Amino acid sequence: MKLLEEKILSCGTVLPGNILKVDSFLNHQLDVTLLNELGKEFHRLFSSYNITKILTVEASGIAIACFAAQYFDVPVVFAKKGHHKNIGTDCYTAEVFSFTKGTSYTVAVSRKYLSSDDTILIIDDFLANGQAALGLKKIVEDAGASLAGVGIAIEKGFQDGGKKLRDAGVNVKSLAIVDSMTDDSISFREDG
């Protein structure tokens, strides 16, 4: 998606450890006009799947998921990180290794909010090694729900998360795929 690629080029910065910082529009300050366009594009890509819920993980996925959900007219459910007494023990859970933090954490979704009648679209801000998306996929499977696909704003194509998910038969659509990045250049895959 050209608009997102241009924004990454003009405002993104590359940090050591293969981290793309997009705090000025996606991960801290939010460019709501851009987010609205991302939401619209996710709807265009997944509109034929009868999505009943969008599933994401706190915190960075929530804003993108909400903009998309307006177009699908469905609720957003976000997996909570860590042990949350306030959502109770009746949860679907998965262990996720965090690429950015280098540690594992548990994500949990209350059983109340996912059912076997649901067709789920997973949305997240980044796809790196695929741990967050695979954790959410496990939760969808544990709930007996159908997974329509995974919508990602920025996939880092030089990490293997996209391959893992696609090899597992998951319909992954990324709005921008970074093929390579250095301190002073970022290049994108044509089909991103």
Strand pairing class (146-156; 119-127): parallel
- 78 scored as a contact of ligand 5GP (CB under 6 A): no
Q: Site size for ligand 5GP, by CB under 6 A?
A: 20
Find residue 56's DSSP bridge partners.
78
Count CA atoms within 13 Å of residue 118 on its CB side: 25
Cβ of residue 26: shortest distance to ligand 5GP, in angstroms? 7
Stretch that binds ligand 5GP, among 41-49, 68-76, 112-120, 128-136 (CB under 6 A): 128-136
> Helices in the chain by DSSP H: which ranges?
2-11, 32-46, 60-72, 131-142, 161-167
Cβ of residue 71: shortest distance to ligand 5GP, in angstroms? 21
Q: What mask, x for binding ligand 5GP by CB under 6 A, covers residues 133 to 162?
A: x----------------------x----x-
- Decide if 148 contacts 68 (C-beta within 8 A): no
Burial of 132 (0-12, 13-18, 19+ CB in 10 A): buried
Q: What mask, x for binding ligand 5GP by CB under 6 A, covers residues 18 to 47?
A: -xxxx----x--------------------
Q: Residues 50, 100, 115, 180: which binds ligand 5GP (CB under 6 A)?
A: 100
Peptide bond between residue 59 and the one before it cis (omega within 30 degrees of 0): yes
Q: Residues 132, 139, 140, 165: which binds ligand 5GP (CB under 6 A)?
A: 132
Written as one letter, the residue type at 162 is G
Q: Other C-beta atoms within 10 Å of 58: how many?
A: 13
**Of 47 and 97, CB closest to ligand 5GP:** 97
Q: How far is CA 32 from the centre of its chain?
A: 17
Stretch that binds ligand 5GP, among 46-54, 121-129, 138-146, 184-192 (CB under 6 A): 121-129
Residues near ligand 5GP (CB under 6 A) are 19-22, 27, 60, 99-100, 124-133, 156, 161
